[in-house]
Amino acid sequence: MRKICVITGTRAEYGLLYNLMKAIKDNANLELQVVATGMHLSPDFGLTYKEIIKDGFTINKKIEMLVSADTPSAISKSTGLGIIGFADAFAELKPDIAILLGDRYETLAVACAAIFERLPIGHISGGETTTGAFDEAIRHSITKMSWWHFVGANEYKNRVIQLGEDPKRVHLVGGMGVDYIKKTNLLKEHDLQKLLGFNFGKKNILVTFHPVTLENNKSEKQFLELLNSLKTLKNTQIIFTCPNSDTGNRVINQLIEKYVSKYSNNSISFTSMGQLNYVSTLQYVDAVIGNSSSGLTEAPTFNIGTINIGDRQNGRLKADSVIDCLPNKESINNAIKKLYSKSFQKKLTFVKNPYGDGDATEKIMKILTKEPIPNDIKKVFYDL
């Protein structure tokens, strides 16, 4: 049996990997190994490893790596601890291939340990660009360490090949977020409201804002501009999801807590909504506002708007439902005005998600079950 080791470090990443993990688990010719790390093991982020167990998966190893701080040096130390932990995990589990998704520093730690272990990597979501975050450099670095590439769009496939990867090992599968949406029975409005403890109103907005990791001390200022814009809205219910564990996350959490405390009649926040609750919520909101990739990769499937603030997601494919704006109150206000305009609302009806129509899991499983896993990971740079 092929031992497929899936590594997850965040709540959102696990949600994207869920269907693939289930497919591997249910396949008689594959053995699923699950390693949880990063935010999953932190009380500050909701101890979300419990959701993995609740879903019926066995966690083979837990790798503690988060340092209790959100400074640049803390992120570097966390990455180092991750490499140490994954070196031991891979030596013990002896998987045939490691499956990684995305571009976070936890994922970089896994990739470093894997390549030193001479362990092939199957990387999901390579070839994308986000010039406003250090994820950009991490993502392309993991691409160069990986054997198989499972990309979300044709543009991303071309970019991975441009990085010197053999086209035979670059597979266009589509977005994992779309795949999750298509395969999941989403919650009905009444059930969702009961779970969240929050009622939707005439207007509803989901706010997901993460630290701007390549700009010194800009996250707090940008998020304050967003909050100042939100304060001007009338008859609008606001749902906040807290940021990930990147540099500068704590000040955003504090600002969210302060805002919700003051405007408790129409706002609520969640450390971790869980993928099912988060995606189900997208059905009933008018827009996602912030700088999260979910506004670009998942929200368009629901034909809702996305107000994308700043340059954190610069370079990613964007549907016609995405409104880009500057990280200041005036620009955000103008974007919200455009969101609710009759012409824009009409346009949303015809929006098509550039990340495909689903079936990413099936396409990845075909490779995992049928393609030969290399005895060594020597690669020749593919010249265009």
pLDDT tens-digit series, residues 197-251 = 999 999 999 999 987 755 656 888 999 999 999 999 999 999 999 887 666 678 8
Mean pLDDT of 167-182: 95
Provide the pLDDT for residue 326. Answer: 95
Q: Is residue 353 part of a domain?
A: no
Tell me what pLDDT residue 216 has.
59
Q: Is residue 378 part of a domain?
A: no
CA pair distance 163, 128, nearest whole angstrom: 12
pLDDT at residue number 112: 97
Residues 160 and 74 in one domain: yes
Judge if 66 and 27 occupy the same domain.
yes
Among residues 285, 258, 304, 316, the alpha carbon closest in space to that of 133 is found at: 316
Q: Which of 206, 156, 168, 161 is nearest to 315 (CA)?
A: 156
User: What's the mean per-residue pLDDT of the chain?
Assistant: 93
Same domain for 335 and 194: yes
- Per the structure, the count of domains in the chain is 2
Both 44 and 155 in one domain: the answer is: yes
Over residues 99-127, mean pLDDT: 96
CATH code (residue 309):
3.40.50.2000
Identify which has the larger pLDDT, 364 or 313.
364
Q: Are residues 212 and 141 in the same domain?
A: no
Most confident of 19-33, 117-131, 230-244, 307-321: 19-33
Going by C-alpha positions, the residue among 113, 129, 132, 133 that lies closest to residue 121 is 113
- Whether residue 383 is contained in a domain is answered as no
pLDDT band at 27 (very low <50, low <70, confident <90, very high): very high
In-domain check, residue 381: no
Same domain, 319 and 198: yes
Tell me: do 124 and 214 sit in the same domain. no
Asked whether residue 384 is domain-assigned, the answer is no
Together in a domain, 155 and 195: no
Identify whether residues 18 and 165 lie together within a single domain: yes
* pLDDT score at 214: 57
What's the pLDDT score for residue 213?
A: 59
Q: Does residue 344 sit in the same domain as residue 363?
A: no
Query: For 141-173, what is each residue's pLDDT tens digit?
Result: 999 999 999 999 999 999 999 999 999 999 999
Domain span at residue 147?
2-175+358-370
104 and 208 co-located in one domain: no
Residue 312 Cα to chain centre, angstroms: 13
Residue 184 lies in a domain: no
Q: Quick one: 164 and 227 in the same domain?
A: no
Kindly write down the DSSP assignment for every residue of 251-320, as one continuous string: HHHHHHHHHHHHTTTTEEEES---HHHHHHHHTT-SEEEES-THHHHTGGGGT-EEEEETTTTTTS---T
